[in-house]
Chains A and B, each alone.
Chain A
Amino acid sequence: MRWTDLSLKSWNSKDFQLTMDNTSCPYHDPFKKARQENGVMETEVAGEKIALILGYKDVRSAAREYATFSSDAPFRVPIPSEEDARSVRQLPIETNPPEHKEYRAIVEPFFRRPMQKDYIAKIESLVDDLVENAIQQDSIKVITEFALPLQSRALTHLLNVPEKEADTWVSWGVHVFREGNSNDSQKGQALEDYIHQQLDMAKQNPGEDFFSALTRAEYQGRPLTRDEMLGFANLTFAGGRDTVIHSISSTIAYLSEHPEALAALRENPKLVITATEELMRYISPITHIGRVCPVKTDVNGVQVEADSRVALSWASANFDETVFESPEELRLDRKPNPHMAFGNGTHNCLGAIHARLIIRSLLKKLSELQSITLLSAQRSIEKEVDYERELGYKNLTVTLNR
């Protein structure tokens, strides 16, 4: 079972004409050659020299060696860096232990809510509503009419705010910031204004929501500063948006190409768990994340200067053939599947329980369908100097058939 059929169609689009052999798709694992050669790719992203760490074990251990590969670097954990997109350090991600531990503990209770039975029921019912509604339509635009509303409404449950709050978040469009366009700072500002407003309201009228919790929280025995509150909230909105939207759209696209997968999920509901993990591995919604080397560091023979960056390439690690048998095959029952789509070690994704729940609920509900007809699709491509990687969809239009 290979996940290339659709991509072959969309390659005709003028956006990304490439020459390639027609048996393998270079977008799936653009790091293969470099990973096999010496496990590192020296490249440039947005004009910055970055060494991508590619091998599974190297990524896994680098994610734990915070003294060598540091997250204590405001704006510089994401790639490209985000000096222009926000005014505050994101928390807890842009810190190292021991500070990281106390920061993370402040918000962790919210991120554990998705393990509660009533929370699971709410997300399942949300997915149910959205899918039932989509079935009624002749066709749906998956990104704007399904994935974005699902991501936004699900997030209201995580943050324990009224579901109608999602209307505002949907109105921001798919990209809160990022996407490297000239609107970065404008969009970033809109998000910060919104968070300030929520924090002001929470202060006046505290409740059991995420913003109120931030206004009450303490760090090292003192209340959080406004910038710290902003840093937590900013990451929660930013980290959980594109990632979840890409996961939803890619899952639907995959199922549209593989009606047999729908049948298999229907016959064997347990498959939902392993299928979710395999889709996460395969999609790897975050290609890589940065770390700063405080001193000159040798990375598999590549010299990284002091204060320069490396990246932990989750996407490459997740296709490492020394760990995953036939990594380019999407196997719904892959097990074991020690993928790192949600990162690993110190900063492993806080949103992972919530994100998994969304995809599991989606697979469970969609397995009731006979088929999903793909009407049009255009992949989005991360185009960098030395590699291109497909990640999610710009457009995806389908019909859901009961």
Chain B
Amino acid sequence: MPKVTFITSDGEKTTIENAIGTLMEVATEHEIEGIDAICGGVCSCATCHVRVADEWKEKVGPQNETEKDILDMEDGADDNSRLSCQIELTDEMDGLVVEVVEL
């Protein structure tokens, strides 16, 4: 099971071993600052926004259609943006590093 690291807006890094589920679920379980995920993962709230480093983009994959529609209008979103509730963690993503984007 993969290890993932969150970098919050104050620069703090939190690494979680054996992460399972969606990236959002892992973040909320570990109370990562800035991931409120208030809709619980249905792609409605955009309070689970992260930025995926270039080197991880391929393994994590692109925004899905609904996610893209939402992020297109979100301030501070760019090509590296993903909604963490839409990222299902796989072994391939072992070592993943993401930046938390605060609203």
Interface residues, chain A, with chain B CB atoms under 8 Å away:
57, 60-61, 64, 115, 273-274, 276-277, 323, 334-340, 342, 345, 348, 352-353, 356
Contact = CB atoms under 8 A, between A and B. Distances in A.
A276 B40 contact: yes
A338 B69 contact: yes
Nearest to A360: B40
5 contacts: A64-B73, A274-B40, A277-B39, A277-B44, A336-B44
Contact of B44 (A64, A339, A345): A339
Q: Mostly helix, strand, loop or mixed at chain B's interface?
A: loop
**Which of the four size classes fits the interface of chain B?**
10 to 19
Contact of A277 (B40, B67, B69, B70): B40
Contact of B38 (A60, A336, A353): A353
Contacts of B66: 323, 336, 338
B40 A336 contact: no
A273 B38 CA distance: 10
Contacts of A115: 36, 38
Contacts of A64: 73
B67 to A, nearest CB: 7
Contacts of B40: 273-274, 276-277, 356
B71 to A, nearest CB: 11
B43 A335 contact: yes
A345 B41 CA distance: 18
Contact of A336 (B36, B67, B73): B67
B41 A338 contact: no
Nearest to A117: B31
Interface in B14-44: 36, 38-44
Contact of A338 (B36, B38, B43): B43
Contact of B42 (A60, A337, A340, A345): A337
Nearest to A357: B38
A280 to B, nearest CB: 9
Nearest to B67: A336
Given A60-B73, A277-B42, A337-B39, 15 more contacts: A115-B38, A274-B40, A277-B40, A323-B66, A334-B42, A335-B41, A335-B43, A336-B64, A336-B67, A338-B43, A338-B69, A339-B44, A345-B73, A356-B39, A356-B40
